[in-house]
Structure 1
């Protein structure tokens, strides 16, 4: 089991309730895949460093989790097929 962290950004056109429902969905993917969620940090709506898909801001969320090496691949697939996710990043935590 390794520690990972993922940061993803939702479109600002979504309602905050929809964003929080999707965060719960992603937590479910991690927990149903055999991982454990260590921390969820919802940053809210923030300005982007550069324009993405004609958006200048988005809803940021950071999740720290522990899992085997296959779960980040599945989580990345779920990010790609979820409407409203404009960017995501999953990295192994080296601490």
Structure 2
């Protein structure tokens, strides 16, 4: 299993309940795919460096996890089809 890190930005219009539901959904994708979550860090609302689809801010969430090489592809697919995700990035932590 490899170590990965994902950072995603959720739409700022989400209320607390919807925000937590989205975070749990993506944690579920990792855990159901055989991955192990090491750390979840919600950075909160921050101003974006540039406007994306007429949105100037978003809620940043960082998740560190360990998984097989197929899981990031499935996670990426889930990020792409979620309307609440503005941007996402998945990186491999091992060199």
Normalization by structure 2: what TM-score? 0.96
* Residue matched to 1:25: 25
The gaps in structure 2 that reach 5 residues or longer are none
Q: 3-state SS of the aligned residue for 1:29? A: helix
- How many angstroms does 1:94 deviate by? 2.5
The gaps in structure 1 that reach 5 residues or longer are none
User: Which ranges of 4 or more aligned residues in structure 1 deviate by more than 3 Å?
Assistant: none
Q: 3-state SS of the aligned residue for 1:14? A: coil
* Residue matched to 1:55: 55
The alignment yields a C-alpha RMSD, in angstroms, of 0.9
Normalization by structure 1: what TM-score? 0.96
- How many angstroms does 1:16 deviate by? 2.3
Report how many aligned residue pairs link the two structures.
95
